[in-house]
């Protein structure tokens, strides 16, 4: 049955046995242009491919006879208790996937004890997302606005709505289009407005003078600098995480500047095509910041097994980007909750086989190269 009499489990799309099945089935639920925009990276999708390939490089070594009967996947992240190490990454324009957009995602987050990171570019206003998230943990992803007054306004709205941390994304000051989205003729449909920003009249772009470059004096004119970071850290009482870190030296400097934690990420391959896989940079960033500093990873995570590998290589938790849009498109809030539940179960199964009762037991010794003899 699929009508109102169906139980929630009966409304889960058929053929979904693993979280990644939502990706496999996405072409059924998203028209080609939207799918190309969501799935694509930038340029030729080299970094999208690298994010996936990096996980395939590692295999998990099973362990025998270990007692994992007290096992669980709970953790504390910078003092905040979480049910499991999957967070919902900030993903803009969720109305592309479902009319309920971030409201559905937030409901799913609360139902599964998942920390939600709401994008500055959400289709629903941040206050409505916070309300839908109920008592669940929620962070707000910030893009610094050209006008500091607008950034301050976003910050105070996020604080008032009960967001408990700010995630400042620094790797997307310019984003080149995805070639597959261009080829599919994708343009953002009119219903996908950035609801949080409608109040702020867009600042008029300054005319380009002779000798100006479109990139440096154009798009990068408002790109944040270290001074802006210091300003932001002083402007909010909330902890500030930095998203988009790949270079170990940046990581060290951001830690010293007072970031609450870092997200090793290449924006799902949507910022610099040719950037390394985030998983490939994770061990060096972990070494740079030390064992105890909060560190997250996103990019290419499609299974509990992938999350296990990221935790083994130094992440405390992972964020889920595209899978969230695919599950949202397939079955709204129920799909996102189901996808998260599948990820948690997949991680638990992997931990049990690897003899790890808790997340703290997952270390680099659990991994071997997938093809050690080639």
Catalytic residues: 267
Please tell me whether residue 180 binds ligand FNR under the rule CB under 6 A: no
The footprint of ligand FNR on residues 312-331 (CB under 6 A) is 320-322
Q: Which stretch binds ligand FNR (CB under 6 A): 86-94, 211-219, 304-312, 341-349?
A: 86-94
Q: How far is the CB of 237 from ligand FNR (least distance, A)?
A: 22
Q: What is the dihedral of CA 119, 120, 121, 126, to 10 degrees?
A: 80
The footprint of ligand FNR on residues 285-314 (CB under 6 A) is 298-301
Smallest Cα–Cα separation from 95: which of 61, 52, 125?
125
Interface residue with ligand FNR, options 85, 136, 261, 268 (CB under 6 A) = 268
Annotated binding site: 37, 90-92, 119, 141, 143, 169, 243, 265, 267, 270, 298-302, 321-322
Going by DSSP bridges, is the β-strand pair 367-369/115-118 parallel, antiparallel, or unpaired?
Answer: unpaired
Query: Between residues 229 and 353, which has the closer beta carbon with respect to ligand FNR?
Result: 229
Contact 204, 225 (CB under 8 A): no
Contact 271, 172 (CB under 8 A): yes
Structure tokens belonging to residue 220: 């990068």
Phi, then psi, of 339 in degrees rounded to 5: -60, -45
Q: How far is the CB of 146 from ligand FNR (least distance, A)?
A: 17
Distance between first and last Cα of the chain:
50
Contact 297, 285 (CB under 8 A): no
Total residues at interface with ligand FNR (CB under 6 A): 22
Q: How far is the CB of 169 from ligand FNR (least distance, A)?
A: 4
Interface residue with ligand FNR, options 82, 91, 272, 329 (CB under 6 A) = 91
Query: Between residues 241 and 293, which has the closer beta carbon with respect to ligand FNR?
Result: 241
- Sequential DSSP letters for 326-346: HHHHHHHHHHHHHHHHHHHHH
The footprint of ligand FNR on residues 224-263 (CB under 6 A) is 243
Q: How far apart are CA 245 and CA 282, in angstroms?
A: 9
The footprint of ligand FNR on residues 118-147 (CB under 6 A) is 119, 121, 141
Contact 270, 89 (CB under 8 A): no
Interface residue with ligand FNR, options 267, 286, 309, 338 (CB under 6 A) = 267
Query: Between residues 63 and 179, which has the closer beta carbon with respect to ligand FNR?
Result: 179
Annotated binding site for glyoxylate: 37, 143, 267, 270
Query: Between residues 271 and 353, which has the closer beta carbon with respect to ligand FNR?
Result: 271
Q: How far is the CB of 350 from ligand FNR (least distance, A)?
A: 18
User: Which residue's beta carbon is nearest to the bound ligand FNR?
Assistant: 321
Chain mean position to CA 205: 30
Q: How far apart are CA 116 and CA 302, in angstroms?
A: 17
Q: Write the burial class of residue 198 (CB in 10 Å: 0-12 exposed, 13-18 middle, 19+ buried).
A: exposed
Q: How far apart are CA 120 and CA 280, in angstroms?
A: 28
Contact 34, 96 (CB under 8 A): yes
Q: How far is the CB of 180 from ligand FNR (least distance, A)?
A: 13
Q: How far is the CB of 203 from ligand FNR (least distance, A)?
A: 19
Geometric angle at alpha carbon 221, from 216 and 223, rounded to 5°:
100
Annotated binding site for FMN: 90-92, 119, 141, 169, 243, 265, 298-302, 321-322
Interface residues with ligand FNR (CB under 6 A)?
38, 51, 89-92, 119, 121, 141, 169, 243, 265, 267-268, 270, 298-301, 320-322
């Amino acid at each position: 049955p699929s009508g109102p009499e169906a139980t929630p489990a009966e409304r889960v799309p058929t053929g979904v046995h693993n979280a990644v099945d939502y990706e496999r089935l996405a072409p059924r639920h998203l028209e080609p242009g939207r799918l190309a925009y969501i799935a694509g990276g930038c340029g030729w999708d080299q970094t999208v491919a690298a994010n996936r390939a990096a996980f395939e490089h590692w295999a998990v070594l099973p362990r025998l006879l270990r007692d994992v009967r007290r096992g669980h996947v709970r953790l504390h992240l910078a003092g905040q208790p979480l049910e499991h190490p999957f967070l919902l990454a900030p993903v803009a324009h969720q109305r592309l996937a479902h009319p309920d957009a971030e409201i559905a995602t937030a409901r799913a987050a609360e139902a599964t004890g998942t920390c939600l990171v709401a994008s500055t570019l959400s289709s629903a206003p941040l206050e409505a997302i916070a309300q839908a998230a109920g008592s669940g943990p929620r962070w707000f992803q910030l893009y610094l606005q050209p006008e500091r007054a607008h950034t301050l306004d976003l910050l105070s709205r996020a604080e008032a709505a009960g967001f408990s941390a700010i995630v400042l994304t620094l790797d997307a000051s310019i984003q080149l289009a995805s070639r597959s989205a261009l080829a599919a003729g994708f343009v953002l449909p009119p219903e996908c407005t950035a609801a949080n920003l409608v109040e702020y009249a867009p600042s008029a772009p300054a005319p380009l003078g002779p000798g100006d470059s479109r990139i440096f004096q154009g798009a990068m004119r408002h790109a944040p600098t270290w001074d802006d970071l210091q300003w932001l850290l002083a402007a909010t009482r909330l902890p500030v995480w930095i998203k988009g870190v790949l270079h170990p030296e940046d990581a060290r400097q951001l830690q010293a500047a007072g970031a609450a934690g870092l997200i090793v990420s290449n924006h799902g391959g949507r910022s610099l095509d040719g950037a390394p896989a985030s998983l490939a940079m994770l061990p060096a960033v972990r070494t740079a910041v030390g064992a105890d500093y909060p560190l997250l990873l996103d990019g290419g995570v499609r299974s509990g097994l992938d999350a296990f590998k990221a935790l083994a290589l130094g992440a405390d938790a992972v964020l889920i980007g595209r899978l969230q849009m695919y599950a949202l498109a397939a079955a709204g809030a129920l799909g996102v909750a189901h996808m998260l539940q599948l990820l948690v179960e997949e991680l638990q199964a992997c931990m049990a086989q690897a003899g790890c009762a808790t997340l703290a037991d997952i270390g680099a010794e659990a991994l071997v190269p997938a093809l050690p003899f080639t």
